[in-house]
Structure 1
């Protein structure tokens, strides 16, 4: 399998000025809190390769297509990002977006995975208001449901409060997996973990221990049958 984490980092590279208070970089608008650490823990437990983003989504959202709205956000969850108004988007695509997706392509060519799992996190509620999000994990997918359907069942069997395309839908925000999973015919899913569950090292360890065997079961169920012995 191959693990991905688009939104692991809140890093703002040299030469980029977002024009925001530094405290905003510790919020979910800048990174998926806990997702990077969880991805690294899973990679170690599963002995699986991982491609992890190293730039804040306020600089450029690695999980959006180059032509997609919100690629370089002008605002996020009610916070203006004034430095992005005159951003050099082609430069950011060249410096950050293209290398990340090239690294994913190289990892796929090297490992030939039967499963790609993208690790994300979500907030218990939007900062600017909205209903609480009760799910512990959300499974996101687009039209290819080969991994999502069994994942939903496996998490439910493990006693996890799991949502199907919650708290938002993979049919609308799924650019990385649309390109590298569905676009290549590889089974894929996003695993969204509520970020208050993985904002400590103990939380990361707990949820890695829950998720790892489920990913193993998914991979094994998707792996091609070996040829019969002769």
Structure 2
């Protein structure tokens, strides 16, 4: 973490109101030295700890495509920034069948105060300064879960809760690229949409929550390809909403 902050912001120096703004809640696998999760260290490179590939895309959107980004700097296993404060999974004790033993009995209030609240306060402040036309929330999903045999064939998916106006345009535009596009798959934004519920829907701001299958963006080449495609598609969506 930079200056002990649970986030970093890229491309926010010369903000122009009315553009796109990106957020990446699960971009990092960082665990502070004073927090012991009680898991095999190798798991920090897997999907339970981080949305693989997302950090590289968010950085590229900000540095090369002029879309400012608010990027998480702490693992979702330490504090899940894409959960509401009163959800049990905000400090998870299990993920995809893996026990997170160090979180059992953890001081949840301390984690919220240290990570969750500063992250969301800073994002709200950035929205206030930027006055974006649309928010883009970036996530990635694993092609398969250890605890399920469900197939996940979608290359990209759009999630939404009540406000689907931007998602509908994005689903169509990604489909026109020849991609297999999920509509509220493999997760439903009606159950898991905390960050966009709070910062977009509550404020009437159109948004796209974009889930990219991780095998598409494991490499820098894949991340560069998707950053370019996202900048194009999201820019066109923003013209429609």
Category of TM-score, reference length = shorter chain: over 0.9
- The aligned counterpart of 1:108 is 127
- The aligned counterpart of 2:91 is 72
> Does the CA-based 8 Å contact 1:45-1:212 persist in structure 2?
no
Structure 1 unaligned spans of 5+: 223-230
CA positional deviation for 1:196: 0.7
Matched, 1:199 2:218: yes
What CA distance in whole angstroms lies between the structure 2 residues aligned with 1:17 and 1:84?
8
CA positional deviation for 1:40: 1.1
- The aligned counterpart of 1:166 is 185
What CA distance in whole angstroms lies between the structure 1 residues aligned with 2:146 and 2:108?
27
Matched, 1:8 2:32: no
What CA distance in whole angstroms lies between the structure 2 residues aligned with 1:99 and 1:121?
23
Matched, 1:132 2:151: yes
What CA distance in whole angstroms lies between the structure 2 residues aligned with 1:209 and 1:116?
17
Give 1:151-230 correspondences, 5 Å limit: 151-222=170-241
Structure 2 unaligned spans of 5+: 1-19
What CA distance in whole angstroms lies between the structure 1 residues aligned with 2:231 and 2:146?
30
Q: TM-score, normalised by structure 1?
A: 0.94
CA positional deviation for 1:137: 0.1
CA positional deviation for 1:127: 2.1
What CA distance in whole angstroms lies between the structure 2 residues aligned with 1:51 and 1:185?
19
CA positional deviation for 1:129: 3.2
Deviations 1:44-80 (A, max 9, x none): 2331211001110001100000011311111100100
What CA distance in whole angstroms lies between the structure 1 residues aligned with 2:217 and 2:120?
26
One of 6, 9, 18 as aligned partner of 2:37? 18
> Does the CA-based 8 Å contact 1:140-1:148 persist in structure 2?
yes
Q: Report the secondary structure of 1:203's partner residue.
A: helix
Moved >3 Å (runs of 4+): none
What CA distance in whole angstroms lies between the structure 1 residues aligned with 2:75 and 2:54?
13
CA RMSD in angstroms comes to 1.0
CA positional deviation for 1:199: 0.5
- The aligned counterpart of 1:226 is none
What CA distance in whole angstroms lies between the structure 1 residues aligned with 2:162 and 2:208?
11
